Chain A
């Protein structure tokens, strides 16, 4: 189309857009090599607010100047596609390079910011250009009551809100880890540099429980401890509802009894005792050539020693250690402003929202397992989160309309 046109002659198309975007990426690389990575804390409150207002002012200005050659180009598809191409290119570099929080060895790639792509100047510059170009493009388009406009506006505003609030809000986002002993209240946390900080929010841990999966049975080589067969270990799931038997080298192994919370008695049998030091135990029977023997086995824990069963001089039947199914904290939360929140079932995937804070179940004392005396939480402070959610909601609606309408060709 513009083949006859000389480069830099208006209107600008792909040649100019690609040249400018490449230039900006190169400037980004040079900035990176000379002054180091982009410091997101330059954008912490209130500077992100100022920057946000400036961006909005730019977008409003673009509406008034939309017939100027510069803004026609700035909101053109050629420029958009070039920016999309640049962010894809930088992401491919990011996808192929290991991303690290701290660079310990400098080389040409670290110098250009490849190992910390999202805080590299090239990435940040393209990101903000995208934000401005997208904003101006949305503002330029005249609202109409058509399917096309609806799909356009939902998808583009949704994306713009996400980019705007996730990008500018990033430096206001804070994450802390808090360890709380059962029965105690805590407000001191560790920040990302492992420094102790006091927060305006306190958590009282009333109780902490771990639910465990029912363990499996396995046959091991007594000398090496390896699960057999070596190349393809077999694990037999204990299932009290099933009468299925587990056969190994002609030995028939059958489950006779299973206790999830068991404590060993003096005669080496197990009884159901619902206490924290209990562990799963099973009574199993092994049959081979009319010889029958049964025995209790258990994987044990910090308080109880494991029990296994000799099959013959080389083989033994063991129980696998229990894997956690869920870990649940019962907490009460107090904030300095007098807020009070309560959650009896705080667990992974089910955080508690407390004002602008969100509290996540993080971990526990892995060595002690069920007997852990503390529970740990991740506290995330993200004041702009709701705006990102609005963006996600609009984008989801827009995506749904794409599925229903498709490209929506006019007849």
Chain B
């Protein structure tokens, strides 16, 4: 099964995921929604297996192959997280992100092997990046909820359920963030002999995680929730600098994470 047949697996998967993430909002169709979503994941996985078998080597080499795994892990872990937390929007969210990677693969396949430098050839690569993407998506969602809550509080409307949602999203996101970081440590140790070297990207990742730590601890302490929510907004700004901005900082021109 080569890239030529990808579209015959990719489109049905996307279709199944879209229907499932819509049906989940109808109480009577929850079970069908679950089944459809799993069928989408299975269809996608089937392509990966057949493709792997066809090319006779693990499909980790090209950008296109890496995106294949992103789509698979995002939807799978998204589904598991939805099953644990019952946040219905998670299904639409992971469908959206998974589909974006699939559509990029369909339009701009980059199926030729990119020459991955030796340091990047590691089994930590995919879990490290996937874990970060998941945590970013949780933090993104929690910040939107935080802004909504701040507006409600301005009108003196309390919303305990929304508070719980924000806290849970931050905890789950923090778990993924910490796991992503620890896997990065293991990788760095194997590649360079250092689990932590205060590379600019690492420094920014560190101060992002400490800001989320500050949010978590002020929430346990139950200080004025407005302060906590503002910390959460600042944390997301720091996270965006870590993710997208570090490459542009003059302090980071020799960073190993600039790409």
Write the residues of chain A forming the contact surface with B, with a CB cutoff of 8 angstroms: 77-78, 80-81, 84-85, 87-88, 91-92, 94-99, 117-118, 166, 175, 213-214, 237, 239, 323-327, 347-351, 358, 360, 378, 380, 388, 392, 395-396, 398-407, 409
Contacts and interface: CB of A to CB of B under 8 A. Distances in A.
B214 interface: yes
Contacts, number: 127
Given A324-B118, A349-B121, A351-B190, A96 B207 contact: no
A265 B186 CA distance: 48
A349 B122 contact: yes
Contacts of B191: 348-349
Contact of A396 (B118, B172, B182, B210): B182
Interface in B198-235: 198, 200, 203-204, 206-207, 210-211, 213-214, 217-218, 220-221
Interface string B117-129: 1110110000000
B176 A94 contact: no
A349 B121 CA distance: 7
Contacts of A409: 164, 167
A237 B167 contact: no
A179 B107 CA distance: 47
B251 A348 contact: no
B250 A94 contact: no
B221 A78 contact: yes
A406 B115 contact: no
A404 B191 CA distance: 31
B175 interface: yes
8 contacts: A77-B220, A99-B200, A213-B113, A323-B117, A326-B118, A349-B191, A395-B178, A406-B167
B249 A95 contact: yes
Nearest to A95: B203
B192 to A, nearest CB: 7
Given A91-B210, A325-B115, A348-B121, 20 more contacts: A78-B221, A80-B217, A81-B214, A81-B221, A84-B213, A84-B214, A85-B214, A88-B211, A91-B203, A94-B203, A95-B246, A213-B113, A239-B112, A324-B118, A396-B182, A399-B178, A400-B175, A401-B175, A403-B172, A406-B85
A348 B118 contact: yes
Given A81-B214, A81-B218, A175-B193, A402 B113 contact: no
A402 B119 contact: no
B171 interface: yes
Top 9 A-B pairs ranked by shortest CB distance?
A402-B175, A403-B175, A348-B118, A406-B168, A91-B207, A237-B112, A399-B178, A77-B221, A407-B167
Given A349-B191, A402-B175, A409-B164, A118 B118 contact: no
B174 interface: yes
B176 A88 contact: no
A166 B207 contact: no
A378 B214 contact: no
A360 to B, nearest CB: 5
Contacts of A80: 217
B210 A98 contact: no
A117 B198 CA distance: 10
Nearest to B193: A380
B250 A396 contact: no
Contact of A213 (B115, B190, B203): B115
Nearest to B209: A88
B211 A118 contact: no
B210 A96 contact: no
A237 B113 contact: yes
A91 B196 CA distance: 14
A242 to B, nearest CB: 9
A152 to B, nearest CB: 10
Contact of A81 (B164, B171, B217, B249): B217
Nearest to B206: A91
A347 B211 contact: no
A402 B174 contact: yes
A404 B118 contact: no
B174 A98 contact: no
A341 B105 CA distance: 45
A351 B176 contact: no
A77, A166, A326 interface centre (most CB from chain B within 10 Å): A77
A404 B164 CA distance: 15
A84 B179 contact: no
A405 B175 CA distance: 10
Nearest to A94: B203
A87 B249 contact: no
B9 interface: no
Contacts of A349: 118-119, 121-122, 187, 190-191
B243 to A, nearest CB: 13
Given A326-B118, A399-B182, A95 B168 contact: no
A395 B203 CA distance: 19
A395 B193 CA distance: 20
Contact of A77 (B112, B113, B217): B217
Interface in B156-170: 164, 167-168
B101 interface: no
B68 interface: no
Contact of B164 (A97, A325, A388, A407): A407
B84 interface: yes
B6 to A, nearest CB: 16
Contacts of B213: 84
Contact of A402 (B171, B190, B198, B214): B171
Contacts of A98: 250-251, 253
B172 A402 contact: yes
B99 to A, nearest CB: 24
B119 A348 contact: yes
B249 to A, nearest CB: 7
Nearest to B218: A81
B223 to A, nearest CB: 8
A1 to B, nearest CB: 8
